[in-house]
Structure formats: C-alpha cells, structure tokens
Amino acid sequence: MSFAASLVVDFFVAMGIVIGGSLLGGVGASLMHAPPMAVMVNLAEQLKIWAMVSTLGGTMDTLKVIESGVLTRELAPVGRQITFLIAAFIGCEVGAFIIRWLAGEGGSS
C-alpha cells in the first residue's frame, strides 16, 4: 500500500473506531435507560487514545521505528511514523467532533 493510501486508511480507521464505538455505546445506554447522547460524547473522548493505538497496530512498533531512526540518523522513517500518528490523531478528533455535533454540542469541548 502506498504512503498516501496508508494515511487515508489510518485516518478513516481512527475516525471509525471513535464514531462506531460511541454510536454503539449510545445504543447500549438507551437499552439501559441512560442518557445516550451524554454517554456517546463521553465515550468519544475516552475512545480517542484507544483508536490511535489500535489504528497504528500498537504503539511499540511506532516507537521502535522512531527510536531506531533517531539513533541511526535516518529521519525518513521517523517522519513517516509521525505523519501516521498525525493522520490517526486527526481522524480521532474528527470522529469526536462528529459525535459532539450529533449530540447537539456544536462540536465544542
């Protein structure tokens, strides 16, 4: 898979984890007679870090590439991994924004 394709996939996987987990958590909250919108917003915030970790396939591989790249002064792999991190981070934030928007909070924190 090309670098650009990997970035797009990472973005959408991270966003999908946040949105999907929050929506299904809202369904569960409805079944338990809890306020689904509040639960969804809370879950969206809590799922962001886990979405990043699962999108990147575990942080240890990413950290290992960054460490070896810095120590051997090969910055191309480091830049690639940081770009993947940024794409996953933006995907998480967009997913949380969409959930806040759906919950009527206008996307504000």
In which band, very low, low, confident or very high, does the pLDDT at 58 lie, cut at 50, 70 and 90? low
Q: For helices 75-102 and 59-71, give the axis angle rounded to 10 degrees.
A: 150
What pTM did the predictor assign?
0.83
pLDDT of residue 20: 96
In which band, very low, low, confident or very high, does the pLDDT at 107 lie, cut at 50, 70 and 90? very low
**Mean pLDDT throughout 24-38?**
95
CB 84 within 8 A of CB 56: yes
* Residue 2 neighbours by CB under 8 Å, 6+ apart: none
